[in-house]
């Protein structure tokens, strides 16, 4: 564990349990999001390639915001 992470965990350890649990939940969500994103990389690549093909075929339109 890095010294920076040890410092942060030391600070968190001094917080009330409810705040510790909230931070733990946020960290867990971040780790789960990263895992999901990494596992969907091929799918995202395929969607991007499909979008480019549709754009080149003129099957897309500009959104007016």
**15-43 average pLDDT score:** 89
Q: What is each CA distance from 56 to 36, 38, 45, 50, in whole angstroms? A: 30, 28, 17, 10
What residues make up the domain containing 7?
Answer: 3-56
- The total domain count for the chain is 1
Give the pLDDT score at 9. 96
DSSP code string of 6-63: HHHHHHHHTS-HHHHHHHHHHHHHHHHHHHHHHHTHHHHHHHHHHHHHHHHTT-----
Residue 23 lies in a domain: yes
Each residue's pLDDT tens digit, 6-22:
999 999 999 999 999 99
Say if 62 falls within a structural domain: no
Residue 34 pLDDT greater than 90, yes or no: no
Task: Answer yes or no: is pLDDT of 37 > 80.
Answer: no
13 domain-assigned: yes
pLDDT tens-digit map of 43-59: 888 999 999 999 999 99
**Residues 6 or more apart from 20 whose CB is under 8 A from it?**
12, 13
pLDDT of residue 25: 96
């Amino acid at each position: 564990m890095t010294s920076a992470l040890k410092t942060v965990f030391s600070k968190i350890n001094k917080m009330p349990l409810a705040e510790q649990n909230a931070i733990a939940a946020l960290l867990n969500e971040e780790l789960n999001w990263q895992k999901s994103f990494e596992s969907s990389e091929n799918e995202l690549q395929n969607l991007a390639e499909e979008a480019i093909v549709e754009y080149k075929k003129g099957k897309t339109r500009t959104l007016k915001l």
